[in-house]
């Protein structure tokens, strides 16, 4: 069943159009990678899905069969769409545990609690009373992931969770993805780092200049095909 | 020597009253970056609400303060939800203009309803009673009571911000009003709750204000300036800083008053200017880890 789906989704920043009729669907239990160069519209797509940018019409985004394109972010979070924003965006005056608890604001029941998040990222329990933004980049990303999970989402949108992290740290952060998926969470991973994202995904979509240029199983295309689509050289 | 200690103590106690009237301004700025020009007039209005309740229930009623708090809290919630949320954004100017207009409306509304007469809430001998402390120090019962109430209010606010879900949400919303929406927080509601809280505390300030001295509809401007000065001296965004700032203001005023009976208010302003010159971030600026 389609959990989340966009239909001819168009998004604008003022007069600038960032998405041109994008069709994306996410099935229950699936992990979808969205790749593309800078400015391809990946972040815009995620921000529309989580409600930070309203779609032109409600019927351009469906969640569990309901049109949600015009709903505000806080209502979508309560319905089960969580977002890990680009750059983590932790709350600097809150400590680690308080940041995690902010994620539980909507009080959705489910498997994710302080306890299960600490079990997945034990280092966070060690630093639970520290101001969140004093942690290392990788640990901060773990807080951001944990915070999003605390709302027990059905869909988790991850915006560039590898951004600015050392490769070894990226690997560590990505280790959490299978565990999250096993709890029944469907994921959308937006990445510029293609390999990492494709390795943990079932399906992929490549965006270029606000349009879907490549779509299929995560392992369906060769390096060249992806590179061409990524940079918009030619359609494969 | 005793004389000067006495003056400092009296000034510090007045600071308790100033702090109660300033903390609402500090809260609305700290949580939603709203510079509320109408804050002083809202303080005066809460004093008149206390007077109106007293006229209804009798001046000795213990219900005056609780009812005034509830009335101002509801008013604060509605004010933020209906009016102020619409003008909040990245630009600081629209809320300034709207609250400036609100200030004029409140002032003239009070003038229309209550006339220009200044009034005091009669409290029997509470205003004049005093107790002797060690070494011939005389402390007024009402200023002392006000100060103790202020301490209690600040302790409660501290507890709210540190240990409750609502307090955590206030702090998160102050940090990042966009990201907090992703947590499922409806900013409009949370901001309205913050303004409700700010006005509830302001009602306590207004009550003790009108208990201690006569209040007229035109006094909002002076209240606003004192509140601003207390908040800036203490350091923006610092809860206890606002209390200390208010005490500094009170002490400066009573010291200057000793030098010349006409210099009291001037002394407060001078202390404020000195702080601005030598420590513009205030005494207790809030450090944020970015």
For B119-133, the pLDDT digits (tens) are: 999 988 888 899 888
Question: Distance (Å) from the C-alpha of residue B234 to the closest C-alpha of chain A?
Answer: 19
- What is the pLDDT at residue B93? 92
User: Which residues in chain B are contacts of A89 at CB distance < 8 A?
Assistant: 176, 178-179, 182
Residue B289's pLDDT band (cuts 50, 70, 90): very low
How many residues belong to chain B?
290
Which chain B residue shows the shortest CA-CA distance from A51? Answer: B182
Contact assignment for A51 to B178 by CB distance below 8 Å? no
pLDDT digit string (tens) for A96-109? Answer: 999 999 999 999 99
Residues B156-172 have a mean pLDDT of 96
Look at residue A236 and tell me whether its pLDDT is greater than 60.
no
Find, among B267, B239, B263, B236, the residue nearest to B251 by Cα.
Answer: B267
Q: Cβ-count burial of A167 within 10 angstroms (0-12 exposed, 13-18 middle, 19+ buried)?
A: exposed
- What is the pLDDT at residue A8? 94
Q: Average pLDDT over chain B, rounded to whole?
A: 94
Find, among A29, A9, A19, the residue nearest to A185 by Cα.
Answer: A29
Please, what is the Cα angle at B170 between B166 and B173, to 5 degrees?
A: 130
Contact assignment for B184 to A72 by CB distance below 8 Å? no
User: Which residues in chain A are contacts of B180 at CB distance < 8 A?
Assistant: 91, 102
The pTM (predicted TM-score) of the whole model is 0.93
Say if residues B255 and B7 touch (Cβ distance below 8 Å).
yes
Interface membership of B81 toward A (CB under 8 Å): no
Q: How many CA atoms lie within 13 A of B23 on its CB side?
A: 32
Residue A115 and residue A101: Cα distance in Å, rounded? 11
Residue B251 and residue B11: Cα distance in Å, rounded? 4
- What is the pLDDT at residue B290? 43
Residue B233 and residue B284: Cα distance in Å, rounded? 8
Strand extents, DSSP E, B91-172:
130-133, 137-140
Question: Distance (Å) from the C-alpha of residue A189 to the closest C-alpha of chain B?
Answer: 17
């Amino acid at each position: 069943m389609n959990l989340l789906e966009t239909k001819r989704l168009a998004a604008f920043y003022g007069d600038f159009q960032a998405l041109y009729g994008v069709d994306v669907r996410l099935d229950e239990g699936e992990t979808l990678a969205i790749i593309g160069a800078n400015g391809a519209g990946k972040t815009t797509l995620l921000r529309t899905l989580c409600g930070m940018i309203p779609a032109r019409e409600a019927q351009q985004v469906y969640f569990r069969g309901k049109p949600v394109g015009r709903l505000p972010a806080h209502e979508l979070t309560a319905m089960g769409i969580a977002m890990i924003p680009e750059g983590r965006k932790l709350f600097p005056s809150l400590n680690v545990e308080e940041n995690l608890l902010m994620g539980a604001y909507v009080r959705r029941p489910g498997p994710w609690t302080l306890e299960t998040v600490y079990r997945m990222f034990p280092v966070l329990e060690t630093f639970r009373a520290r101001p969140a933004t004093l942690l290392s980049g990788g640990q901060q990303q773990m807080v951001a992931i944990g915070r999003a999970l605390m709302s027990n989402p059905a869909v988790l949108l991850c915006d560039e969770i590898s951004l600015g992290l050392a490769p070894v740290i990226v690997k560590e952060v990505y280790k959490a993805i299978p565990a999250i998926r096993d709890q029944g969470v469907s994921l959308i991973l937006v990445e510029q780092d293609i390999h990492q994202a494709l390795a943990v995904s079932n399906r992929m979509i490549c965006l270029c200049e606000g349009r879907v240029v490549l779509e299929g199983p995560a392992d369906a295309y060769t390096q060249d095909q992806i590179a061409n689509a990524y940079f918009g050289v030619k359609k494969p | 020597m005793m004389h000067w200690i006495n003056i400092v103590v009296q000034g510090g106690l007045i600071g308790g009253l100033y702090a109660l009237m300033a903390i609402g301004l500090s809260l609305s700025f700290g949580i939603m970056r709203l510079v509320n020009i109408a804050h002083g007039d809202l303080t005066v209005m809460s004093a008149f609400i206390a007077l109106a309740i007293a006229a209804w229930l009798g001046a000795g009623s213990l219900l005056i303060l609780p009812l005034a708090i509830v009335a101002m809290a509801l008013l604060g919630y509605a004010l933020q939800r209906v009016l102020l949320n619409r003008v909040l954004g990245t630009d600081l100017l629209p809320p300034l203009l709207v609250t400036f207009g609100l200030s004029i409306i409140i002032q003239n509304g009070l003038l229309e309803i209550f006339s220009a007469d200044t009034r005091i809430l009669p409290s029997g001998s509470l205003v004049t009673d005093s107790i002797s402390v060690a070494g011939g120090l005389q402390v007024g019962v009402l200023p002392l009571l006000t100060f103790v109430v202020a301490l209690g209010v600040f302790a409660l606010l501290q507890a709210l911000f540190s240990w409750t879900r609502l307090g955590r949400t206030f702090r998160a919303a102050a940090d990042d009003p966009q990201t907090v929406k992703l947590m499922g927080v409806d900013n409009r509601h949370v901001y309205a709750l913050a303004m409700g809280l700010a006005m509830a505390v302001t009602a306590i300030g207004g009550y003790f204000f009108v208990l201690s001295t006569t209040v007229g509809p035109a006094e909002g401007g002076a209240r606003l300036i004192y509140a601003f000065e207390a908040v800036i001296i203490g350091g923006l965004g610092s809860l206890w800083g606002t209390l200390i700032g208010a005490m500094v203001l009170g002490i400066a005023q009573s010291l200057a008053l000793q030098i010349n009976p006409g210099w009291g208010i001037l002394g407060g302003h001078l202390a404020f200017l000195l702080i601005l010159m030598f420590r513009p971030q205030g005494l207790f600026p809030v450090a944020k880890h970015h």
